[in-house]
Amino acid sequence: MANTPMLAEMMKTHGISRRAFMKYCASLTSLMALSPALAPRVAEALENAPRPSVIWLSFQECTGCTEAITRSHAPTIEDLIFNAVSLDYHHTLQAASGHAAEEAREHAMKQHYGKYILIVDGSIPIKDPGYSCIAGISNLDMLKETAAGAAAIVSVGTCAAYGGVGHADPNPTGAVAVSEIIKDKPIINVPGCPPIPVVMTGVLAHFLSFGIPELDELGRPKAFYGNSIHDRCYRRPFYDKGQFAEGFDDEGAREGWCLYKLGCKGPTTKSACATVKWNNGVSFPIEAGHPCLGCTEPDFWDNGGFYKPLSVPAGDYRDAGLAAVAGGAALGAASALLAKAGKTKAAQAHETVDAHDLEKSS
Amino acid sequence: MSATIDRGLNALREQIDSPVASFFSSCVSCGLCAEACIFYRATEDPKYTPIKKLDLMRRVWAREFTLFGRIGGMLGLIKPVTDEDLTEWETLVYDSCTMCGRCSLVCPVGNDITMMIRKMREGMSAAGHAPVELIGAAQRHTDKGSPMGDLSKAIHAQVKHAIDETGIEIEFDKEGVDYMVILSAQEIAEFPDVLSAMARIFKKTGVTWTISSEAFEATNVGIQLGNRDVAKVLVSRVVEAAEKLKVKGIISPECGHAYQALRWEGPNLIGRTYPFEVVHIIELLDRLRAEGKLKTKGKNTDRLTFHDPCQINRRGGINQEPRNLMNMVSEDFVEMESGGTMNWCCGGGGGVGANERAEKLRHAAFKFKKIQIDKVEPDAIVTMCAYCHHTLDNVFEEFDIEQDVIGLTELVAEYLDDDA
């Protein structure tokens, strides 16, 4: 895989017509929220892009991200993109194993030093290196070593982007996100548990065509994470009308009303789920009748219960808040007791007034 | 026993409850209540800002019921309320407030300022700072049955007159009828025609009624004075008389604070609910209209407008009923600007009308009220409160203005269909 054939040549060998390729580029362009005029540029960039070397590192993860990016879309054109990049190292997908596998990584790193793309899924344990090792190398060391020569890093999935389930309270392994360790490389976060496949390939296509996409404050490409699910949800009109499902088997649920009260995190979750959808655009969780879990947001595991409405407070500040409330209540109760004592005394001191003693004696 | 500052302050303490505490805590000093107050609008003097009228009560609350206020009080930052303070506030609490309730309605944080004025008057009256006219009226009402004195002879004479005029029998103290009618002293003395009107309407609509010779007076000086002990004595008389006569209900007459006293404050004053209903005469007439029992013939062709009494509409909830009746008997009924729940007060309610000291303020308020009336140039103003009627009549006379004022019950009776 060391040779670098152009993408256009690869297409020909895969029997993809020029027309199909342009169609793909146009849809990719719109997906990335770019001007339609840029579609030819996307095509040009992709056509002339040399197959960049890609190293995919999997740390504390569940392989869900890989499952998503590979299985659900084969054999579509997205597959081609992955054939088009030189995927030089990927645990799950590569045929090589053991020393041969590690050799492939080291070789790719040496040959494309400073140019390869590093994709990471999974969080990195920093409490004890023994929690997760590959070929006797701790995740932390492997990340540092591989990142050093990368042109850019793509953190795929919420674990790599924000720590994910490994980072969830009580975080026994001391799991952290890639961005906690690597500070000197551009990092694109593509969170989701897993991310939408077409979003993953889209981000890669953008990187190949135009370089690093515009990112939001959480390091996510704005093109895919610019809107909240709530803003684009087809159930939004029910929210606006105040029509909510209160249970999973009530009338509201059957009528397809808003799932806010069942814990939907759509209002605080930015992702393209409601527009791009899943399984080749078939549907997305809310369409299947389940509230959004908010998986593209940091610490979504610890954000209260999945089935608790957003309006119910969650998190550590609950304890601080409870203490403050208790303190305030005690102070208030003491004050109220004094006030009540004053009022009771006043009631006891009440002298019934008669119309004839309304005047002052003087 | 006599009125003292201690008794007044104690009465104020008794009045401070959780609504008062939350109202004072939530006031943002926005001043919107000033714009809603007829006395501020008429004079533009900031001391007439409704919430300002409650300053002394706020001070008692802050000093004695709040933690910081208590500390402030110890440090001498919040001064105790003195008798001199009460003297100064007396004119604000009694002369420049008809308890019309407009300020409560506009308050953006929902403070019921009017209710607090009512509470503050408890302290003022217990401390001996109520206007002399109201004290006199309270004594006459307690001793002789009516704020104007003993009206027993007058009511009998007026009833006899109504019987002679209509040929319809009106019986005193008749047990088991539908309703016991009570009347305001103002009606008995000044507008007795309402008796004939009621007799005719009730005869036609099949309503049976009586008047209690023991408790025919509807007004309650205790409410205006702001003294619940006095108010309780007066309201108990009416309640007990109605219970004795075993009526289904009491008809509250065309009188604002009488309705307020019996319908809303009464059960709280006596500490129990009534075994009968309290219905305002206009409420009842509209009910009879809706049931198809009240039928009229012909319509008044004059340009008529309707003046909403504060205690019956804004603070009593009767808004649509008089309009239904107006449309039934009037061909040219025009609403005044801010008519309905936001109507401007006649300026005489809440004891202000009886208070001689307040005359200048009352006249200023009327000039403001007159702007509202002049915009529609009515041939006559219809109302459903004898005291509004009385106040408007008086000020029109004072300013030499020819303007008819009519009671709605009488107007309806005038168009009663005798053939139906």
* Interface touch B13/A343, C-beta < 8 Å: yes
pLDDT at A211: 83
Query: Pick from B14, B127, B139: which is nearest to A343 by CB?
Result: B14
pLDDT on residue A20: 72
Q: Which range has the worst mean pLDDT, A11-15, A168-172, A176-180?
A: A11-15
Q: Are strands A53-58 and A116-121 parallel, antiparallel or unpaired?
A: parallel
Shortest CA distance from B229: residue in chain A: A353
Average pLDDT over residues B212-229: 94
Q: Do A358 and B138 touch (CB under 8 A)?
A: yes
- Contact assessment for residue A196 and residue A272, using Cβ atoms and an 8 Å cutoff: yes
- For testing the chain B interface, which of A358, A359, A361 should be mutated: the one with the most B CBs within 10 Å? A358
| The pLDDT of residue A81 is above 70 | no
- B126 closest CB neighbour out of A338, A339, A353: A353
Per the CB < 8 A criterion, the answer to whether B306 and B333 are in contact is yes
Contact call for A355 and B138, based on CB within 8 A: yes
Contact between chains at A339 and B64 (C-beta distance less than 8 A): yes
Contact B229 A354 (CB under 8 A): yes
pLDDT given for residue B270 in this prediction: 95
> Comparing C-alpha atoms, which of B152, B158, B207 is closest to residue B179?
B207
Q: State the nearest Cα–Cα gap between A347 and chain B, in angstroms.
A: 6
What letter represents residue A206's amino acid? H
User: A353 and B138: CB-CB below 8 Å?
Assistant: no
CATH number at residue B182: 3.40.50
- Residue where a domain stops, chosen among B130, B153, B184: B130
How far does A261 lie from chain B, in Å, by closest CA? 29
Nearest to B230 among A346, A350, A353 (CB): A353
Residue in the block written with tokens 């009624």: B209
Q: Do B138 and A351 count as a contact with CB atoms less than 8 A apart?
A: no
Kindly state whether residues B284 and B148 are assigned to the same domain.
yes
HSE-up of residue A241 (Cα within 13 Å, Cβ side):
10
> What is the secondary structure of A197-227 as a DSSP string?
HHHHHHHHHHHHHHSSPPB-TTS-BHHHHSS
3-state helix, strand, coil in chain A (%, to 5): 50, 15, 40
**Per-residue pLDDT tens over the stretch B293-303:** 999 999 999 99
Q: Answer yes or no: do A354 and B230 touch at CB < 8 A.
A: yes
* Residue B50, preceding peptide bond in cis (omega within 30° of 0): no
What is the per-residue pLDDT for A8?
65
* Element of type H or E holding A330: helix A317-348
d(CA B328, CA B293) in angstroms, rounded, equals 13
Domain-embedded: residue B355: yes
- DSSP class of residue A230 equals H
CA–CA gap between residue B107 and residue B104 (Å, rounded): 5
The answer on B139 and B92 residing in a single domain is no
Domains and CATH numbers, chain A: 7-225 (3.40.50.700), 229-302 (4.10.480.10)
Question: Over 80: is that where the pLDDT of B320 sits?
Answer: yes
Final residue in a domain of this structure, among B80, B114, B130: B130
Same domain, yes or no: B24 and B49: yes
Is B66 in Cβ contact with A358 (below 8 Å)?
no
The pLDDT tens digits for A264-301 are 999 999 999 998 888 878 899 999 999 999 999 999 99
**B74 and B144 share a domain?**
no
A108-118 pLDDT tens trace: 999 999 999 99
Q: Are A122 and A160 in contact (CB under 8 A)?
A: yes
- Is residue A132 scored above 60 in pLDDT? yes
A321/B218: higher pLDDT: B218
The yes-or-no verdict on residue B411 having pLDDT over 80 is yes
B253 part of a folded domain: yes
Among chain A residues, the shortest Cα distance to B66 is held by A335
Longest Cα pair distance anywhere in chain A, in angstroms? 115
User: Count of CB contacts below 8 A, A vs B?
Assistant: 77
Answer yes or no: is B419 within a domain.
Answer: no
Contact flag B230-A356 (C-beta cutoff 8 Å): no
Q: Which residue type sits at B137?
A: A
| Mean pLDDT estimate for chain B | 94
CA distance B420 to B409: 18
What whole-number distance in Å separates Cα of residue B299 and Cα of residue A19?
83
Q: How many CB atoms lie within 10 A of CB B375?
A: 12
Same domain, yes or no: B47 and B145? no
Query: Do residues B222 and B312 both lie within one domain?
Result: no
- Prior bond of B192 cis (ω within 30°): no
Q: Measured between CA atoms, how close is A358 to chain B, in angstroms? A: 5
Residue type, B367: K
d(C-alpha A287, C-alpha A281), whole Å? 11
pLDDT at A173: 95
Long-range contacts made by residues B79-88, C-beta under 8 angstroms, separation at least 24?
B81/B9, B81/B12, B81/B56, B82/B5, B83/B5, B83/B127, B85/B56, B86/B5, B86/B8, B86/B56, B86/B123, B86/B124, B86/B127, B86/B129, B87/B129
Q: What amino acid occupies position A252?
A: G
Confidence band of A2 (pLDDT split at 50, 70, 90): very low
Percent of chain B with pLDDT over 90: 91
Buried b (16+ CB within 10 A) or exposed e, A77-102: bbebbbbbbbbbbbeeebeeeeeebb
Distance separating alpha carbons of residues B312 and B254, to the nearest angstrom: 9
Q: Which of A335, A348, A353, A357 to mutate to test the interface with B (most CBs of B within 10 A)?
A: A353
- The 3 state secondary structure assigned to chain B is CCECHHHHHHHHHHHCCHHHHHHHHHCCCCCHHHHHCHHHHHHCCHHHCHHHHHHHHHHHHHHHHCHHHHHHHHCCCCCCCCHHHHHHHHHHHHHCCCCCCHHHHHCCCCCCHHHHHHHHHHHHHHCCCCCHHHHHHHHHHHHHCCCCCCCHHHHHHHHHHHHHHHCCCCCECCCCCCEEECECHHHHHCCCHHHHHHHHHHHHHCCCEEECCCCCECCCHHHHHCCHHHHHHHHHHHHHHHHHHCCCEEEECCCHHHHHHHHHHHHHHHCCCCCCEEEEHHHHHHHHHHCCCCCECCCEEEEEEEECCCCCCCCCCCCHHHHHHHHHHEEEEECCCCCHHHCCCCCCCCCCCCCHHHHHHHHHHHHHHHHHHHCCCCCEEEECCHHHHHHHHHHHHHCCCCCEEEEHHHHHHHCECCCC
Contact B16 A338 (CB under 8 A): no
Q: How far does the CA of residue B225 sit from the closest CA of chain A (Å)?
A: 10
Same domain, B243 and B309: no
Tell me how close the Cα of B309 comes to any Cα of chain A, in angstroms: 27
Residue at B330 is within a domain = yes
Question: Interface pTM (ipTM) of the complex?
Answer: 0.73
Query: Cα(A95)–Cα(B308) distance, rounded to whole angstroms?
Result: 91
Residues B146, B274: one domain?
yes
Residues B30 and B110 in one domain: yes
Q: How confident is the model at residue A11 (pLDDT cuts 50, 70, 90)?
A: low
- Of B333, B397, B395, nearest in space to B370 by CA: B395
Nearest CA in chain B to A341: B65
Q: Which residues of A touch B (CB under 8 A)?
A: 331, 335, 338-339, 342-343, 345-347, 349-361
Return the beta strands (E) in chain A as ranges: 53-58, 86-90, 116-121, 124-125, 133-134, 137-138, 150-156, 175-176, 187-190
Which residues from B are below 8 Å from A when comparing CB atoms? 1-4, 7, 10-11, 13-14, 16-17, 21, 64-67, 70, 125-128, 130, 132, 135, 138-139, 141-143, 221, 225, 227, 229-230, 233
Contact between chains at A358 and B10 (C-beta distance less than 8 A): no
Q: Are residues B263 and B334 in the same domain?
A: no
Residue A320: exposed, middle, or buried by beta-carbon count in 10 A (0-12, 13-18, 19+)? Answer: exposed
Structure confidence by residue, pLDDT tens digits, A294-330:
999 999 998 878 998 887 766 566 677 788 888 888 8
Contact: A359, B2; criterion CB under 8 Å:
yes
Distance in Å, alpha carbon of A355 to nearest chain B alpha carbon: 5
Q: Looking at B270, B288, B306, which one is the last position of a domain? A: B288
Q: What pLDDT does residue A10 have? A: 66
Nearest chain A alpha carbon to B140: A355
Classify A119 as helix, strand or coil. Answer: strand
pLDDT digits (tens, 9 = 90+) for B58-96: 999 999 988 888 888 888 888 899 999 999 999 999 999
Tokens of A34: 């770019």
> A91: which 2 tokens?
């645990």
Q: Is A32 helix (H, G, I), strand (E, B) or coil?
A: coil
Confidence of residue A1 (pLDDT cuts 50, 70, 90): very low
Q: Are residues B380 and B406 in the same domain?
A: yes
B22 and B90 part of one domain: yes
User: Distance from A170 to chain B by nearest Cα, in Å?
Assistant: 42
For chain A, what is the mean pLDDT?
85
* Model confidence at A168: pLDDT above 60: yes
Torsion, Cα of B58, B64, B69, B74 (10° steps): 130
What is the spatial distance between Cα A215 and Cα A184, in angstroms, rounded to a whole number?
16
Residue A75 predicted with pLDDT over 50: no
Radius of gyration of chain B measured on its C-alpha atoms = 22
Percentage, residues of chain B above pLDDT 70? 100
Does residue A32 carry a pLDDT above 70?
Answer: no
> Is the CB of A343 less than 8 angstroms away from the CB of B70?
no
Q: How far is CA B72 from CA A3, A331, B57, B78, B254, in A?
A: 84, 17, 16, 6, 48
What is the length of chain A?
A: 362
Nearest CB among B14, B67, B132 relative to A350 is that of B14
Beta bridge pairs of residue B306: B382
The count of other CB atoms within 10 Å of the CB of residue B178 is 15
Nearest chain B residue (CA) to A337: B65
Contact (Cβ atoms closer than 8 angstroms) between residue B91 and residue B341: no
Count of the separate structural domains present in chain B: 3
Is the omega angle on the peptide bond into residue A75 within 30 degrees of 0, that is, cis?
yes
CA distance B155 to B212: 10
Which chain A residues are within 8 Å of B16, Cβ to Cβ? 343
CA B177 to chain centre: 27
Question: Does A74 score more than 50 pLDDT?
Answer: no
Smallest CA-to-CA distance from A57 within A99, A92, A86 is with A92
CATH of the domain at B121: 1.10.1060
Interface test with A, best of B229, B233, B235 (most A CBs within 10 A): B229
Q: State whether B128 and A349 contact (CB < 8 Å).
A: no
Q: What is the CA radius of gyration of chain A?
A: 28
Which of the residues B1, B140, B233 would you substitute to probe the A interface, choosing the one with the greatest number of A C-beta atoms within 10 Å?
B1
Residue among A342, A347, A355 whose CB faces B139 most closely: A355
Residue B80, domain extent: 3-130
Answer whether residue B246 shows pLDDT above 80.
yes
